[in-house]
Structure 1
Amino acid sequence: MRSIKLGTRNSPLALWQAREVERNLQNRNYSTEITPIVSSGDKNLQQPLYAMGITGIFTKDLDIALLNHEVDIAVHSLKDIPTELPENIEIIAVLKRDFPQDVLVRKPDAETLDLRDLKIATSSLRRRAFWLKEFPDTEFSDIRGNVQTRLRKLEEQDFDATLFSLAAIERMGLDIRYEAIPIMISAPAQGVVAITGRSDDPEMKEVFKEINHLPTQICINIERNFLNTLEGGCTAPIGAFAEINDKNEIRFRGRLCSLDGQNCIETDEIFAYKEGVNYGKKFAEEVIRNGGREIMQQIKTQL
C-alpha cells in the first residue's frame, strides 16, 4: 500500500495530534507522511470547491487539500469540525477521548483572587456565557492564538486568567498550574482527535476502521447531533458532554445559554444506549421546547 499522507494544521498542538494518528498507523505497519498545510491562498482551486459549503475556520484549508488529493486524510481537533461537512468529506475515525475539561490558568499575582473578581481573557462565546452564568459582573478581554501565544499574552497583557482545554495543556506536556472549573460544560466533542477522509476513498475508510474508538464515537455523535439540532447555522454558547458510566449507561449533559449567561437551559440524562436512536437530536428538541428557541432567536439578533 502507498504511504498515507496525513494533512494537519501547522501549530504545535495540531502536529502532536497528527503524530498520534501516525503512531497508530505505524503500529499497524503502514508507512506515513505528515503534510502541514499552511495556507490556501496560493492554491489553484477549481470553482466547484467554493460551492461545497466549506465553512470551518480551522478546517477549510485541510478540506481543500483533501478534496484536491494533496493528502489522503486530515487530522483535526473534532470540536473545530463543523457539524455540516463539505460534499465528499466525512469523519472516518476518532481516537479515544483523553481530556475533555476546560481549566483555568491564572497569572501568579492573581492566585489569591476569588473567581468572581478575576478579569478573564477568552474569545469563546460558550466560555464567556457559562462563566457569566455564575459570575455576572466579570470583565472579559479577547484572546486568540495557539496555546503558546495565549500563555505569552497572559504574561504580558492586562487580565488575570484565561481558560484552556485541558487536552491542549496535557498533550503538549506543559508545566503550568491550572484548576478545574466544574461550572463549565465542555464544547461538543472537546478532547477528541478526529480523522476525516474522502467519502469516495474506501481504502482509507477500511484502514481506519480498526483505529476508530467506538465508545468515543458513540458519545461524540450524541454531542454533535445536539449541537447541530440547536445551532441552525448560528454560533451560540452550547455545551454538550456524553460519557459511558461503569454500568454501561450513557450520561449526557447539555446546556444552552444566552450570551450574557443569565438565561440557560440544561439537560442531564442517564440512559441505556440503543443503536439507531438520535439521542442528541431528541435532547436538543427538548431544550428548544423549553425556551431554547427564544434564546437562539435572541442570539441571532445580537451577533
Structure 2
Amino acid sequence: MRSIKIGTRNSPLALWQAREVARNLQNNNYKTDITPIVSTGDKNLTEPLYAMGITGVFTKDLDIALLNNEVDIAVHSLKDIPTQLPHNIEIVAVLKRDFPQDVLVRKSTSKNKELHELKIATSSLRRRAFWAKYFPETEFCDIRGNVQTRLQKLEDQDFDATLFSLAAIERMNLAVDYEFLPMMISAPAQGVVAVTARADDHEIKELFEKVNHRETQICIDIERNFLRTLEGGCTAPIGAFAEINDKDEVRFVGRLCSLDGKKCMEIDEIFTWNDQENFGEKLAHIILKDGGRELMQEIKLHLQ
C-alpha cells in the first residue's frame, strides 16, 4: 500500500495539524510519513507579514515541494492559503472546523487595564483594524513567531496584550487565560485545517473524499469566495464567518474595514444553501456596491 508523504511547516502547531491529517489517513488504513519544511514566513520573523507580500508567504515552500513531487500532500491552516492557488495545486479536503474565534491574551501586569488602555501587539491588518474600530486610540506594535514565541514575547516585551486564534491555543493545550472578543469577526476559513495536493493526482483526490468534512467545506467556500471577490489580489482587513445547520440554512457575517478601522462595511445574512449559487461572491458584491470598491482602492494605495 502507498505511504502518503505529508508536507508541513515545522512549527508545533503545524506539526499538530499534520498529525491530525495523518490520524485521519491511518483510520482509513493508509501509512503516512510527515516531512517538515521551513517556510519563508517562518524564516523571516522580523518583518510584519503585510510588508512581506503576505499572500502565500506560509504556503509557497510547501507548494514547491508538492510540485516537485517531494511530498504527496501539504497541510496548512486554511486561512494562510491564498484564494488563487498555483497551477496544478488544489485543496482536496478540509477537516471539521473547531475553534474559529480570535481571543485576547494579556500579560499579568495589565489585568486591571480597560480594553481601550491596552497596547496591543499584532501584525495582522485585520486584527488591528477591527480592534481600532472600537478602540481608535490604541497603540499597536508588530509581533511575529509561533504561538509559544509570541507568548514569551508577551511576557518579555513592552506591550500589554496580543491577539490569537483560539484554535492555536486549544490545539497546543496551552494553559493560557484568554478573553473572547465578540466584535472580532474571524479571518475567512480561520480554525480550519486544509489539505492541498497536485490536481493531477487522482488517487490522492479520491482518497481525500473520505476525509473531507462537508459542512465545513460549504462554509469555507462561502468565506473564501467572499474574500476573493473583495480583495482582487490585495491584502485587506476582511472578516468572514459562515455557519450551517442540518437543514442547510446558513448564517453569514462579513466585514471590510479601512486600515485605521474608521470606515467599516458589514453584512449579516441568513439563507438556504444550494450548490448552484456562489453565495460568497454575491455577498461580496453587496459590500462592493455599498462603498467597498472605493474602500478597497484606498487600502491598495496605502499598502503600495
Unaligned runs of 5+ in 1: 41-53
Q: After superposition, what is the alpha-carbon deviation per residue over 1:54-100, rounded to whole angstroms, capped at 9, x for unaligned?
A: 95000001000000000000000000000000000000000000000
After superposition, where does 1:107-118 map in structure 2 within 5 Å?
107-118=107-118
Give the drift of 1:227: 0.3
Unaligned runs of 5+ in 2: 41-53
Partner of 1:45: none
Partner of 1:302: 302
Partner of 1:242: 242
Give the drift of 1:247: 5.0
Q: After superposition, what is the alpha-carbon deviation per residue over 1:10-38, rounded to whole angstroms, capped at 9, x for unaligned?
A: 00000000000000000111011000112
Partner of 1:265: 265
Q: Secondary structure at the match of 1:234?
A: coil
Whole-angstrom CA distance in 1 between matches of 2:173 and 2:55: 31
Give the drift of 1:2: 1.2
Letter in 2 for 1:227: L
Partner of 2:207: 207
Q: Secondary structure at the match of 2:224?
A: helix
Partner of 1:224: 224
After superposition, where does 1:1-303 map in structure 2 within 5 Å?
1-38=1-38, 56-245=56-245, 248-303=248-303
Whole-angstrom CA distance in 2 between matches of 1:155 and 1:234: 33
Letter in 1 for 2:161: A
Give the drift of 1:225: 0.2
Whole-angstrom CA distance in 1 between matches of 2:164 and 2:6: 26
Give the drift of 1:39: 5.5
Give the drift of 1:216: 0.1
Q: After superposition, what is the alpha-carbon deviation per residue over 1:237-290, rounded to whole angstroms, capped at 9, x for unaligned?
A: 000000014654100000000001010000000001111200000000010000
Q: After superposition, what is the alpha-carbon deviation per residue over 1:125-153, rounded to whole angstroms, capped at 9, x for unaligned?
A: 00000000000000001001110110011
Whole-angstrom CA distance in 1 between matches of 2:248 and 2:33: 38
Partner of 2:48: none
Name the stretch that deviates more: 226-235 or 241-250: 241-250
Whole-angstrom CA distance in 2 between matches of 1:157 and 1:274: 49
Whole-angstrom CA distance in 1 between matches of 2:90 and 2:274: 23
TM score, norm. by length of structure 2: 0.94
Q: Secondary structure at the match of 1:300?
A: helix
Whole-angstrom CA distance in 2 between matches of 1:86 and 1:7: 16
Q: Secondary structure at the match of 1:91?
A: strand
Q: Secondary structure at the match of 1:194?
A: strand
Whole-angstrom CA distance in 1 between matches of 2:156 and 2:100: 28
Whole-angstrom CA distance in 2 between matches of 1:168 and 1:25: 22
Whole-angstrom CA distance in 2 between matches of 1:169 and 1:59: 21
Between the two proteins, the alignment pairs up a number of residues equal to: 290
Return structure 1 stretches of 4+ with deviation > 2 angstroms.
245-248
Whole-angstrom CA distance in 1 between matches of 2:132 and 2:300: 19
Letter in 1 for 2:218: I
Q: Secondary structure at the match of 1:79?
A: helix
Whole-angstrom CA distance in 2 between matches of 1:64 and 1:55: 15
Cα RMSD of the aligned pairs, angstroms, is 1.2
Whole-angstrom CA distance in 2 between matches of 1:62 and 1:111: 40
Letter in 2 for 1:2: R
Name the stretch that deviates more: 269-278 or 54-63: 54-63
Q: Is the 8 A contact 2:9 2:39 kept in 1?
A: no
Whole-angstrom CA distance in 2 between matches of 1:91 and 1:6: 14
Identical-residue share of aligned pairs (%): 75
- Label 1:132 to 1:169 Cα distance change in 2 as closer, same or farther (>3 A): same
